[in-house]
Amino acid sequence: MNKKTLKDIDVSGKRVLVRVDLNVPQDEEGAITDDTRIRAVLPTIGYLIDKKAKLILCSHLGRPGGKVLDKLRLAPVAKQLSELLAIPVQTAKDCVGPEVEEAVGRLKEGDVLLLENLRFHPEEESNDPDFAQTLAQLADIYVNDAFGTAHRSHASTVGIAAYIPAVAGFLMEKELDIMGRALDEPVRPFAAIIGGAKISDKIGVLEHILERVDSLLIGGGLGATFLKALKHDVGRSPIEENKLDLAQWLVEKAAEKGVHLLLPTDVVVAERFDAGARSKIVSVTAVPSGWYVMDIGPRTTELFEAKLRKSKTIIWNGPVGVFEFDKFSKGTSAIANLLAGLDVTTIIGGGSTAEVVEEMGLADRMSHVSTGGGASLKFLEGKTLPGVAVLLDKES
C-alpha cells in the first residue's frame, strides 16, 4: 500500500479524528448482536491511546436519511467500546456544533470521545464541503480506518481530507495489503469462488478476476444464469435474461485465458422458494420445470473441494446457495468448513460471505475476513476507492 498510515505521522498530544465503521447489527431492544466491526478497529484505537493522542471517533449507524432517530444513536456502541477498551468512552450529543467543540476542547491525552451518528446530517452523504470542514476543525489529523465505507464519497470519508492531513488506520492498511497482494502477487494456484444472487452485482469482479485467477468456481443464484446461458433448463430460478450473452462471453473468455471455470454439475432444487419446500438433488440437465435451483449439489461440492484443496490462494465472495434457509445451506457450509481447515491464504470478501463464516464461528480460522461488503466488491473489481484515494501518499 502506497498510502501513509498512523506510523508515518506524529500523533502524540494531537487531536486525532478517526473515521471508523461502527455500523453494527442490533436487536429490537438496541443490544448489539455482533461486535466484529468494533473489535476490528481496536488496534488503531489502542495505538492512539498509547501515543497519548486526544481521540475523536466518528461513524454512521444504519440509514437515518439525514434525520435524528433515537434507535440509531451510538450510545450502545460507546458502551460496548468502553467494555472492550476497559476505559470510559465519552459521547457527544451531535457530531458538529458548539457542544461538540467544547467536548473536544476538554479532552486530555489518551481520552476517547465518540461523536453522534454522522448520518443524522444529510450533509454527510452529500459530501457537503462546509460540513466536512466543520468536522475537520475538530482535529489536527484525520485517520480513515473505515474500509467498509471507503467506496463512499461522503464528507467524513473524502471531503475532510481536503482540510487536514489524512492517513490510513491499521484496519484499512490490513484490508488493502491482504487483498491487494492476493490480486497482484498471489501464491499460485489461485482460485476464486463467486456466488450470490445476481450476475449483474458481480460483473466487475468476474471480469477483473478472470485476468488473475487459475480457477473460477461459480455458484449461487448467478450460477443459474450461467447454466441458462449454456442452454440448461433452470426451472423458475430467477435469472437475468439480459445477462445471458455476458455469461456466455465470460465462459468463452475463461477458456481463451486457460482459466478452469467450474459450474455446478448437480444442484439442489425446491418446488417452492421456501425454507420448508419439498426438495431433491438433480443433474443440471434435469431440473424440473417450475422448480427452483437452491444450492449446489454433493457432486459439485466434491468437485469444488478437490479444486480448492490444490489451491494456495483462495478468495470467496458470495454464498453458493440460499444460505438463509438451513435446508439449502449445505454447499456453502461445506466450502466454509473446508477453507477453515486449509493451510493456505483464504480471503473472505465481506458482506453475506463474512456473515456466513461469522455465524459458523469460523472467522478466526480464515486468513482474512473483510469488514467491507460494497467496498470489497469495488476493490475486487479493481476500482479505486474514493476514501483511499484522498489519503496522503507515502512519498508525500
Residue 57 has pLDDT above 60, yes or no: yes
Residue 38 has pLDDT above 60, yes or no: yes
Distances in whole angstroms, Cα of residue 281 to Cα of each of 265, 271, 275, 292: 11, 12, 16, 11
In this prediction the pTM is 0.92
303 and 376 assigned to the same domain: yes
pLDDT value of position 30? 84
105 and 190 assigned to the same domain: no
178: left (phi over 0), alpha (psi -120 to 50) or beta: alpha
162 and 193 assigned to the same domain: no
Classify burial at 231, counting beta carbons within 10 Å of its beta carbon; exposed 0-12, middle 13-18, buried 19 or more. exposed
216 and 161 assigned to the same domain: no
**C-alpha of 13 from chain center:** 33
**Residue 292 domain flag:** yes
Q: Give the residue from 127, 111, 132, 8 showing the smallest Cα distance to 57.
A: 111
Residue 217 has pLDDT above 70, yes or no: yes
Contact 110, 86 (CB under 8 A): no
**Residue 218 domain flag:** yes
**245-299 tens-digit pLDDT:** 999 999 999 999 999 999 999 999 999 999 999 999 999 999 999 999 999 999 9
**Residue 115 domain flag:** yes
Q: Which domain holds residue 52?
A: 6-174
Domain's final residue, options 129, 148, 174? 174
**Residue 84 domain flag:** yes
123 and 233 assigned to the same domain: no
Q: How far apart are CA 304 and CA 310, in angstroms?
A: 10
Per the structure, how many domains does the chain have? 2
Q: Which amino acid is at 180?
A: G
Q: What sections of 51-157 are H helices per DSSP?
A: 75-85, 98-105, 122-125, 129-136
351 CB neighbour count, 10 Å cutoff: 21
pLDDT value of position 197? 84
Contact 220, 320 (CB under 8 A): yes
Q: Which amino acid is at 259?
A: V
pLDDT value of position 179? 93
Confidence of residue 198 (pLDDT cuts 50, 70, 90): confident
pLDDT value of position 39? 95
Q: How far apart are CA 350 and CA 359, in angstroms?
A: 13
Joined together, the cell numbers standing for residue 328 give 439449502
Confidence of residue 69 (pLDDT cuts 50, 70, 90): very high
Residue 301 has pLDDT above 90, yes or no: yes
Using DSSP, state whether 245 is helix, strand or coil. Answer: helix
156 and 202 assigned to the same domain: no
**132-168 tens-digit pLDDT:** 999 999 999 999 999 999 999 999 999 999 999 999 9
78 and 209 assigned to the same domain: no
Side-chain-side CA neighbours of 102 within 13 Å: the count stands at 6
**309-323 tens-digit pLDDT:** 999 999 999 999 999
pLDDT value of position 47? 98
288 and 202 assigned to the same domain: yes
Q: What sections of the chain are H helices per DSSP?
A: 36-40, 42-50, 75-85, 98-105, 122-125, 129-136, 170-184, 203-210, 220-229, 244-257, 298-309, 330-341, 351-359, 374-380, 386-389
**pLDDT above 70 as % of the chain:** 100
- In the block, cell 444472487 appears at 197
Joined together, the cell numbers standing for residue 225 give 444464469
Residue 74 bridge partners (DSSP): none
Domain's final residue, options 152, 174, 196? 174
Residue 396 has pLDDT above 80, yes or no: no
Confidence of residue 28 (pLDDT cuts 50, 70, 90): confident
Handedness of CA 34, 39, 40, 45 (dihedral sign): positive
**Residue 157 domain flag:** yes
pLDDT value of position 199? 83
Residues designated catalytic:
37, 198, 351, 374
Q: What is the mean pLDDT of the chain?
A: 95
**Residue 376 domain flag:** yes
**339-360 tens-digit pLDDT:** 999 999 999 987 889 999 999 9
389 CB neighbour count, 10 Å cutoff: 13
329 and 213 assigned to the same domain: yes
168 and 193 assigned to the same domain: no
**Residue 385 domain flag:** no
**Residue 99 domain flag:** yes
260 and 212 assigned to the same domain: yes
**C-alpha of 69 from chain center:** 25
What average pLDDT does the segment 202-221 reach?
A: 94
pLDDT value of position 176? 95
331 and 363 assigned to the same domain: yes
- CATH code: domain of residue 320: 3.40.50.1260
Domain's final residue, options 121, 148, 174? 174
